[in-house]
Structure 1
Amino acid sequence: MPTHYPFSAVVSSDDMALALVLTTISPEVGGVLVRGEKGTAKSTMVRALAGVLPPIDVVAGDRFASRPGETSPDGDWPLDAAIETRPVRLVELPVGATEDRVLGSLHLSRALSDGVAEYEPGLLARAHRGILYVDEVNLLHDHLVDLLLDAAAMGRSTVERDGVSVEHAARFVLVGTMNPEEGELRPQLLDRFGLTVEVAAPRDPALRAEVVRRRMAFDASPEAFAASYAEPERALTDRIAGARKLVGEVELSDDSLLTIAELCAAFDVDGLRADLVTARAAVAHAAWCGRTSVTRDDIRVAARLALPHRRRRNPFDAPGLDEELLDQVLGDDDPEPPTDPEPDPDGPGGGEPTDSDSSEGSSAEEGSPDAPVVEKGRQGPSRDQAPADQPSAGTPVAAGAPYRPRLFTVAGTGAGESGRRSRAVTETGRRVGARKSQGPGGSIHLLETLRAAAPHQHARGRTSGPVRFAEQDLRLATREGRESNLVLFCVDASGSMAARKRMEQVKTAILSLLLDAYQRRDKVGLVTFRGAAADLALPPTHSVEIAARRLDDLPAGGRTPLAEGLLEAADVLRRERLRDPRRRPLLVVVTDGRATHGSEAVARSRQAAEHLAGQGVSSLVVDCEDGRFRMGLAATLADHLQAEHTAIGQVSAAALTHAVRTAREGAA
């Protein structure tokens, strides 16, 4: 069995360690989401957590890890059933898992060979009474995240599919890790995680050196390194076991409950889930510290872990908590009783995290670049107050408030990852047909499987009894839903676009489309062109938050190298096609259509547009030309691109609705 890095050996990780421990003491807290830059020991620490949890007793031979006296699909186990003691399981859910793999499905071998509809447990069943870990949870399909969170909240999983009807216990600790640079979870999904921790590599050189020293020692001799931390690991296991026994005896007074309610109201969080999670986390923290009553310090720690991510209203907001407001609501007049002693410096999670722990972040197994800085409480870019209508070259202009844009899609039917933009054959959606099975995964189409088997029954010797199936009879359902796309913005930032009102209008439209791309789970990229060249301002990413910040800093001025912008966009799309061939692109060209760089600018722009059209790229030209006299160059560009053409004022869904209504009234 491979040796994992010891939980107590991770350096300076109090916030993350404490959050993980609290949710294992009281699984009702609702799991932990760990957000942080790459190389910060997120996965290392989660995988090490199972090693310090007390072992569990399970019914021998039961596939669902049931306790004696529990009911499972494998039987009703009496109290005197044979039991076995085993370590807690850590079940990892891969990002590409199908719904069948998560929930479980019909046992194909038994169904085809014996004609028996038998349930084959999925990952939720395997994770019962253990830990379910999802690395890069922000890249997991939304419907799977909803499914996991529902099961974690209800403690049960119900399967009704493919002729199987099964309900089984699914009580587990859900832990998700993510790098915000790869895209955010939707605020509704963020709220479903009980606790959230922000981690970053330590900036103290001594701490960084200690991280490297321990990692190198572990890599040189994993067994010896783990043995050197055996005693802290045993002590941590005993403390968790003691806290689990004590948590039921902790008293949460009415005053403490009222304080929690005042906190949640002061931070303007939605719903009552924050109140419940904060209360449960405060009780768990009191048990962790060996107390039988909740103190103000327990509430403070619980609030710091349960509230920050619940204050987000849109993807451009950064999670965070106003420490001054927290202190103001909690007050500091009453003396606190003695709390837990100082934690062992060799082991995380020994007591309450300090303010410095929160600001310093978590440890790193490897070095990493600084995490992107996000303005706290951002609701979108602030409006520039400069009075001049024509800013100087290089001076950025801010966007206005985003609006709901029209839906722009890629033509045809794709086969990319599930999303909310273009038509595609996906794992979810309405059933539109059937196909032969070409490997594991997929939903069985029972009717088409029977039709495929029916002509061969006589040849297979069947005269009565169950239908005789062969592997080649198996048919899987073909479903049509929506896919996510790569939305690549190619933005004209030249002098003809530099008028403040026009550039503000352009940035507002792009910001609105970015918000739409976030909601539809698209990847986004940003190419800009001005002066003499084009620039890839943002390589394709899931993080629209970073795209919005790059948009903030976009200057304007100079000549218009339209051809260079289109060729740069074509090169980006070519590279992305090699990297992710299933994800179809939507090119959004934002320009007035003028090309003023070089003597043959117009001809080169036409050739570049026709090259993109020849590649089969679905495109949209957002026409930024305004004024009474218009040249119509953007419309001509759209013809060469074979693209949809729309005026920038018609990007808004409300503007389009108004235009259609006006046209109808005029016709009447």
Structure 2
Amino acid sequence: MSTPYPFTAIVGQDDLRLALLLNAVSPAVGGVLVRGEKGTAKSTAVRALSALMPGVEVVAGCRFSCDPAAPDPQCPDGPHEPGSEVARPARMVELPVGASEDRLVGALDIERALAEGVKAFEPGLLADAHRGILYVDEVNLLHDHLVDLLLDAAAMGASYVEREGVSVRHAARFLLVGTMNPEEGELRPQLLDRFGLTVEVAASREPDQRVEVVRRRLAYDDDPEAFAARWADEENVVRARIVAARKLLPSVRLGDGALRQIAATCAAFEVDGMRADIVMARTATALAAWAGRTDVLAEDVRQAALLALPHRRRRNPFDAPGLDEDKLDETLQEFGGSDEDDPDPDGPGSGGGQPPQDSGPDAQPPARAEDAPGPEAHDSGQSPAGDAPAAGRTGEASDEAEGRGGPGREQTAVRAAEPFRTKTLTVPGLGEGAAGRRSRARTEHGRTTGARQPRGALTKLHLAATVQAAAPHQRARGRSGPGLVVRRDDLRQATREGREGNLVLFVVDASGSMAARQRMSAVKGAVLSLLLDAYQRRDKVGLITFRRTEADVALPPTSSVDAAAARLESLPTGGRTPLAAGLLKAHDVLRVERLRDAARRPLLVVVTDGRATGGPQPVELARRAARLHAAEGTASVVVDCESGPVRLGLAAQLAGDLGGTAVALDELRADAIAGLVKDVRGAGRGAGRRAA
């Protein structure tokens, strides 16, 4: 095993290091979610922490790492005899993004259970991580049902495996650490809330600090062992400090004054539920123990809030995590009165009411979330919409006029209208794509619809079909008593139907005609509403815009719906309408995505008034481009943005060429959206019909 990078050699990232150390002191804090851009030492810090974790005593031969001092009475390998303990380092177990449920929680040997009546259980990663660290890199890309299992085990301290009447339970207490890049997609808010602490990390913009990062990394790559030896003393100091803080932790006193501050802070920031209060209390207690004190100070509560509340403040999926520190300070000051049980703020060990000061090579300065944007920072920041030309013009010449002097004239970006709730939009047929919540698909989880012989390892046994397959052969197999003689070829895998996530590709008309009729605000509001729906249904999204003479991929297909919303807000408008270019660009994007992920089915949403005015023979080229999509069976819908007393019906014609459905922009709100994409039937069927 290669020598890990020393934890104390990491430059900066004070919040990240402190959050990890607090969980090492008190795993009850609930783990850490580390959010940040690529290349910010997220994985390096987590792997480095494993070398600082104190060793553990385990029962010899126990696959579930039982503590000899208090063995698990329900351990599948028990009961354990006293005097068989061995010492070993705490483990760090990594959960791959593509892991199966059986790999995470363990698997029962169904064949032996049926044929021999024994509980043959193979432990999973949760058992391996017991009393150690469980690390999930790119946790936002992990399937939701695995994240649910993982967080349930972390909360309960145990893992349960139940299948076909056979039940196994074992202890699973571990320090949970997840890392993610928000650009690749967000975790759902309810999953964010299950992580105790969240830290936002970013690369330093200070040249001197960046130089030091590079210098240390190069030295480590040249000779890892020599580099680690240079930091051995600092590592030992921190390791000893973790042990001392763990011993001190039961003696730390959380007074009523600190509890009032915690409750008032959570109430002031309107966090849901009571988990935030509990996490803050445990974090503040761990902070005091880490500082070598037995009393929790106001600064501990403040620091706990900065680590435990930002990710719980998200009221909308597109809100950035953050905390208003001025409001936090005002709340702490308002409820900062002491009571008779609180320690003297100027007494010994109190630090005179100042932030706890650490000493030693790995001193941790009080971390601040100065770079974390608060709720106010997430305002769109867009300037008001500029004056729009009068509505009602039609024809190619209007594009020139709407550009105020020609197609090169830019229009001011407008803010999106208020988003609204949409109904379920589905792609027809039965897919086999990534797990999600949109269209019907064959999945590992869902309702059982049938049975088949397993291809590879058996994961979901269909008991009735297995018995039915084995029953006719019992006499030939010599069965002479009770029980059933089952062979491998009798086993049947349950086939299940659930929901998949799709690729929703938006193609948005940003020409001058859209801005001229003051429709862009409504258009952005409609697209934003569909983006919110895509976020909740775990879709990938992409955004293409077309204006002037070309089409641009404003956002390549990604799981980060937040990024799509941000690009939409700043969308410029103006110029002619190169509809053909937009459709051809969409065709190229979908072609590449089919090679990357053939199982994920696309849904094309074209937002336009249907006019084509850019390039030679624009109308004929647009129709030919639309027929390319229809020939490949791409489910599609055209959102008709045409307005005014004179309407040409061009969007409905485009929908007919696409083999999809057209829906008017003003029909997207409330229940009118039901006909938008639901049951899109492919090329030719229902072509050009307007959704009612």
- Could you say whether these structures have the same fold, taking a TM-score greater than 0.5 normalized by the shorter chain as the test? yes
Name the SS for the 1:526 alignment partner.
Answer: strand
> Are residues 374 and 139 of structure 1, via their aligned partners in 2, closer, same or farther at CA, if it must alter by over 3 Å?
farther
> Are residues 441 and 568 of structure 1, via their aligned partners in 2, closer, same or farther at CA, if it must alter by over 3 Å?
farther
Q: Match of 1:301?
A: 303
Q: Match of 1:97?
A: 99
> Are residues 568 and 340 of structure 1, via their aligned partners in 2, closer, same or farther at CA, if it must alter by over 3 Å?
same
1:381–1:399: 8 Å Cα contact kept in structure 2? no
Aligned residues: CA RMSD: 2.4
2:19–2:197: 8 Å Cα contact kept in structure 1? yes
In structure 2, how many angstroms separate the alpha carbons of the residues matched to 1:657 and 1:622?
13
Tell me which amino acid in the other structure corresponds to 2:293. Answer: R
In structure 1, how many angstroms separate the alpha carbons of the residues matched to 2:379 and 2:518?
21
In structure 2, which of residues 307, 332, 351 is the aligned counterpart of residue 337 of structure 1?
A: 351
Following superposition, the deviation at residue 510 of structure 1 comes to: 0.3
In structure 2, how many angstroms separate the alpha carbons of the residues matched to 1:374 and 1:310?
12
Following superposition, the deviation at residue 577 of structure 1 comes to: 0.9
CA deviation digits over 1:544-563, x for unaligned, max 9?
11111111111222111111
| Aligned 1:588-607 pairs, distance under 5 A | 588-607=605-624
In structure 1, which of residues 612, 623, 642 is the aligned counterpart of residue 640 of structure 2?
A: 623
In structure 1, how many angstroms separate the alpha carbons of the residues matched to 2:444 and 2:548?
46
In structure 2, which of residues 280, 291, 297 is the aligned counterpart of residue 278 of structure 1?
A: 280
More deviation, 448-457/561-570: 448-457
Q: Match of 1:9?
A: 9
Overall identity of the aligned pairs, in % = 59
| Aligned 1:320-335 pairs, distance under 5 A | 320-331=322-333
2:245–2:290: 8 Å Cα contact kept in structure 1? yes
In structure 2, which of residues 543, 550, 562 is the aligned counterpart of residue 533 of structure 1?
A: 550
In structure 1, which of residues 492, 499, 507 is the aligned counterpart of residue 516 of structure 2?
A: 499
Name the SS for the 2:317 alignment partner.
Answer: coil
CA deviation digits over 1:27-80, x for unaligned, max 9?
221111000000111111111211101011111111111112421332544572
Tell me which amino acid in the other structure corresponds to 1:615. Answer: E
Structure with larger RCO (C-alpha < 8 A, sep 6+): 1
2:366 is aligned with 1:353: yes
Name the SS for the 2:12 alignment partner.
Answer: coil
Q: Match of 1:25?
A: 25
Q: Match of 2:57?
A: 57
1:301–1:352: 8 Å Cα contact kept in structure 2? no
> Are residues 467 and 201 of structure 1, via their aligned partners in 2, closer, same or farther at CA, if it must alter by over 3 Å?
same
1:100–1:122: 8 Å Cα contact kept in structure 2? yes
| Aligned 1:11-410 pairs, distance under 5 A | 11-68=11-68, 69-70=70-71, 71-77=73-79, 80-108=82-110, 110-111=112-113, 114=116, 116-331=118-333, 337=351, 341-344=357-360, 347=362, 350-355=363-368, 358-359=369-370, 376-378=376-378, 384=384, 386=386, 388=388, 393-394=409-410, 395-410=412-427
CA deviation digits over 1:492-523, x for unaligned, max 9?
11122123531111110000001110111111
Tell me which amino acid in the other structure corresponds to 1:209. Answer: V
1:396–1:554: 8 Å Cα contact kept in structure 2? yes
2:650 is aligned with 1:637: no
Name the SS for the 1:181 alignment partner.
Answer: helix
In structure 2, how many angstroms separate the alpha carbons of the residues matched to 1:49 and 1:110?
40
2:321–2:374: 8 Å Cα contact kept in structure 1? no
| Aligned 1:535-554 pairs, distance under 5 A | 535-554=552-571
In structure 1, how many angstroms separate the alpha carbons of the residues matched to 2:356 and 2:510?
58
In structure 1, how many angstroms separate the alpha carbons of the residues matched to 2:226 and 2:111?
44
Following superposition, the deviation at residue 101 of structure 1 comes to: 2.0
2:551–2:582: 8 Å Cα contact kept in structure 1? yes
> Are residues 78 and 106 of structure 1, via their aligned partners in 2, closer, same or farther at CA, if it must alter by over 3 Å?
closer
In structure 1, how many angstroms separate the alpha carbons of the residues matched to 2:81 and 2:468?
47
2:687 is aligned with 1:654: no
In structure 2, how many angstroms separate the alpha carbons of the residues matched to 1:527 and 1:27?
45
1:381–1:400: 8 Å Cα contact kept in structure 2? no
2:652–2:661: 8 Å Cα contact kept in structure 1? no
Q: How many residues align?
A: 643
Name the SS for the 1:488 alignment partner.
Answer: strand
**TM-score normalized with structure 1 length:** 0.91
> Are residues 222 and 453 of structure 1, via their aligned partners in 2, closer, same or farther at CA, if it must alter by over 3 Å?
farther
Q: Which runs of 5+ in 2 are unaligned?
A: 338-344, 391-401, 404-408, 677-692
> Are residues 442 and 645 of structure 1, via their aligned partners in 2, closer, same or farther at CA, if it must alter by over 3 Å?
farther
In structure 2, how many angstroms separate the alpha carbons of the residues matched to 1:619 and 1:296?
57
More deviation, 111-120/472-481: 111-120
> Are residues 380 and 81 of structure 1, via their aligned partners in 2, closer, same or farther at CA, if it must alter by over 3 Å?
farther
Q: Match of 1:368?
A: none
1:91–1:133: 8 Å Cα contact kept in structure 2? yes
